[in-house]
Chain A
Amino acid sequence: MTTTTLTTMTSAGLRDRRRNALREGWLIAGRDVLHWIREPWGLVFGLAFNIMLILMFGFLFGGAIEVPGGGGYIAFLLPGMFALTMLFGLESTVTAMADDAKRGVTDRFRSLPLSSASVALGRAIADLAGSALNLAVLMLGGLLIGWRPTTGPAEIVLGVVLLLWLRFALLWLGIFLGLSFRGTGATTAVQVLVWPIGFLSTVFVSAETMPGWLGSIAQWNPVSATATAARELFGNPTGTTGGWLADNAVLAASVWPLVITLAFLPLAASAYRRLRR
């Protein structure tokens, strides 16, 4: 056998395997769609909760909140809520992974002749689709209460892409957590943890209104980067009067998720392999 045929065979084999992983991931994600159709309440309550947060902060607290640099609070809040929704999506990833592992569904998948990437890929497709749907509904709701993107289509699309990019990065963190800490413990921990992470950001208030040290922490929160970038790209008030993050929000919102992905994608893969131990 010559080197050429060997190479051809190998690359053909790889192509085949990738196509299988995509097909299998797609099938596994289809299971989630059936879940949404059959039991839509989880999805509906998740959405209702986000809408409640918007109404609560927008109208209950919003009147008392002044946005540094000017601008209306609703216009400031909505892009922040979009970013927060991406963070909250982490919970559903962890829950789904932990539930499947606990119920033996993951083992059933693992006993099938599947590509090793399929299970994670299925989770990724389903969760991205779920978060995109969530985002779309929030945006429509935002339009109803007076939020308006004021920029061109290219900026708006980039804003949406950066939001989903954060969600994509958090997928791997979620898969890693769900596989590593099986049982209900992981879900509870994440449910509790997303709150301080979400609030210790510029989602609800500008970092400039916080004590200096707290403001720094909030500014370096990846959720803040995405929130600020979304505000900028949608032409909404950013709540900052200057500083590195204000000037480089889009860069930060591109790099943070990349860092998270580079850190947790290998960890998620090794957690999946560790199931064999």
Chain B
Amino acid sequence: MTQTPPSPPAPPAALDAVGLRKRFGATSALDGFDLRIPRGTVHGLLGPNGAGKTTAVRCLATLTELDDGSASIDGIDVRRHPAAVRERIGLVGQTHAVDEALTARQNLMLFARLSGLSKPRAVRRSDQLLATFSLTDVAARPVSGFSGGMRRRLDIAASLVLRPAVLFLDEPTTGLDPRGRATVWQAVREVAAAGTTVLLTTQYLDEADQLADRVSVMNQGKIVAEGSPAELKRRLGGDRVAAVLADPDRLREAAGVIARAAGAEASVDPDTRSVTVEVDDGSRALAPIVRALDAEHLAVDDLTLRRPTLDEVFLHLTGDAGDASELHAELEVR
């Protein structure tokens, strides 16, 4: 046996999960879930409803017991030392876990005192958090009158009382209006700027794009792709050109015309009377498609050029298992 010279141990990752498994009856919510998040980064966990995002967060936050696998927060084992882990995490669940009848300040005071702070320290910390999340003006108002965005910000503030090493945000902007979304995004950026590691689950590709340093795509209980948002988008195909036909009876015919013009296979959706084609460069593909449609006198109600939607991302990633694992491998290598 050879002795390797002692090197300073690398600091543990903020979050390290290997082979997590969790079953609820017959359904497998986590099925070999792996995730590693370096300190001080924002990691997006992207996936459709039922992919297991919430279960993953609940297991990592010690709320739900794992069936198998190992996970640690800040180097502390989640299964063996849940109490110690709880001192290092903040959790913002999908429901607004703030007390409706209490004011913003009373909510923060409650969680600050429950986290073990003395009264004067709790007051100071609450004031700080109210200021950070632009809630000072409404601090004395009951939460029941708050907008969705304000509630969510208070929720995030309440989970930061102890300056956690890792903050879990489970779909923080689901159900918010655009303005609420923007303010929550700003709040998350401030949390990240202060050095807190964030695990953020979301259904929205653009949200991950806005906030996350790295993104994992989750489906059926495991990670199917991982990379920076730019890497993922690059891999997830080119632009889409979608045409909505005026005459639904000529959909098939139009699909053929568009496919020939774009040099790619076109898909038809009779419900929306649309034909979609995937192209490498949308700006160059658009003109030939328009010309070809015009030549055949195919009237369109709408013609759009767009990036892939999340639905298409998932279809792409999960439609073919071989394809997905291939993608995973490719991104891992980078």
Chain A positions near chain B (C-beta within 8 angstroms): 24, 27-28, 30-31, 34-35, 38-39, 102-105, 107-114, 118, 275-277
Q: Least Cβ distance of B59 to chain A in Å?
A: 10
Q: Are B63 and A110 in contact (CB under 8 A)?
A: yes
Q: Are A111 and B111 in contact (CB under 8 A)?
A: no
B residues less than 8 Å from A109 (CB atoms): 114
Q: Are B97 and A113 in contact (CB under 8 A)?
A: no
Cα distance A275–B98 in the bound complex, in angstroms: 19
- B 74-96 binary contact with A (CB < 8 Å = 1; else 0): 00000000010011011101111
B residues less than 8 Å from A28 (CB atoms): 110, 114
**Quick check: is B237 within 8 A (CB to CB) of the other chain?**
no
Q: Least Cβ distance of A214 to chain B in Å?
A: 43
A residues less than 8 Å from B115 (CB atoms): 112-113
**Which residue of the partner chain, among B63, B86, B94, B98, contacts A276 with CB atoms under 8 Å?**
B63
Known contacts A31-B110, A112-B111, A112-B115: A39-B97 contact under CB 8 Å: no
A residues less than 8 Å from B120 (CB atoms): none
Q: Are B110 and A27 in contact (CB under 8 A)?
A: yes
- B 100-135 binary contact with A (CB < 8 Å = 1; else 0): 111000100011011110000000000000000000
Cα distance A38–B116 in the bound complex, in angstroms: 25
A residues less than 8 Å from B116 (CB atoms): 113
B residues less than 8 Å from A103 (CB atoms): 95-97, 100
**Which residue of the partner chain, among B87, B99, B106, contacts A105 with CB atoms under 8 Å?**
B99
Cα distance A105–B159 in the bound complex, in angstroms: 12
**Quick check: is B184 within 8 A (CB to CB) of the other chain?**
no
- Give the contact-size bracket for chain B: 20 to 34
Known contacts A104-B95, A111-B89, A275-B63: A34-B102 contact under CB 8 Å: yes
Interface of B is mostly: loop
Cα distance A57–B91 in the bound complex, in angstroms: 51
A residues less than 8 Å from B93 (CB atoms): 104, 107-108
Q: Least Cβ distance of A22 to chain B in Å?
A: 13
B residues less than 8 Å from A102 (CB atoms): 95
Known contacts A111-B91, A113-B87, A276-B64: A104-B97 contact under CB 8 Å: yes
A-B interface pairs (CB < 8 A), number: 74
**Quick check: is B65 within 8 A (CB to CB) of the other chain?**
yes
Q: Are B65 and A107 in contact (CB under 8 A)?
A: no
Cα distance A31–B96 in the bound complex, in angstroms: 16
A residues less than 8 Å from B83 (CB atoms): 113
Looking across the interface, which residue of chain A has its beta carbon closest to that of B84?
Answer: A113
Cα distance A34–B110 in the bound complex, in angstroms: 11
Cα distance A118–B63 in the bound complex, in angstroms: 16
**Which residue of the partner chain, among A31, A107, A114, contacts B99 with CB atoms under 8 Å?**
A31
Known contacts A27-B110, A112-B111: A34-B101 contact under CB 8 Å: yes
Q: Are A111 and B61 in contact (CB under 8 A)?
A: yes
Q: Are A30 and B142 in contact (CB under 8 A)?
A: no
Q: Are B63 and A112 in contact (CB under 8 A)?
A: no
- B 129-172 binary contact with A (CB < 8 Å = 1; else 0): 00000000000001000000000000000110000000000000
Cα distance A109–B274 in the bound complex, in angstroms: 49
Q: Are B96 and A104 in contact (CB under 8 A)?
A: yes
Q: Least Cβ distance of B152 to chain A in Å?
A: 12
B residues less than 8 Å from A27 (CB atoms): 110, 113-114
**Quick check: is B70 within 8 A (CB to CB) of the other chain?**
no
A residues less than 8 Å from B142 (CB atoms): 38
Cα distance A28–B63 in the bound complex, in angstroms: 19
Q: Least Cβ distance of B326 to chain A in Å?
A: 36
A residues less than 8 Å from B267 (CB atoms): none
**Which residue of the partner chain, among A38, A114, A277, contacts B64 with CB atoms under 8 Å?**
A277
Known contacts A39-B101, A103-B95: A34-B114 contact under CB 8 Å: no
Top 9 A-B pairs ranked by shortest CB distance?
A104-B95, A104-B97, A108-B97, A111-B91, A113-B86, A113-B87, A104-B93, A276-B65, A35-B101
Q: Are B113 and A107 in contact (CB under 8 A)?
A: no
Q: Are B114 and A104 in contact (CB under 8 A)?
A: no
Known: A27-B110, A30-B110. 19 other contacts (CB 8 A): A27-B113, A28-B114, A102-B95, A103-B95, A103-B100, A104-B96, A104-B97, A105-B98, A107-B91, A107-B93, A107-B95, A108-B91, A108-B111, A108-B158, A111-B63, A111-B91, A112-B115, A113-B87, A113-B116
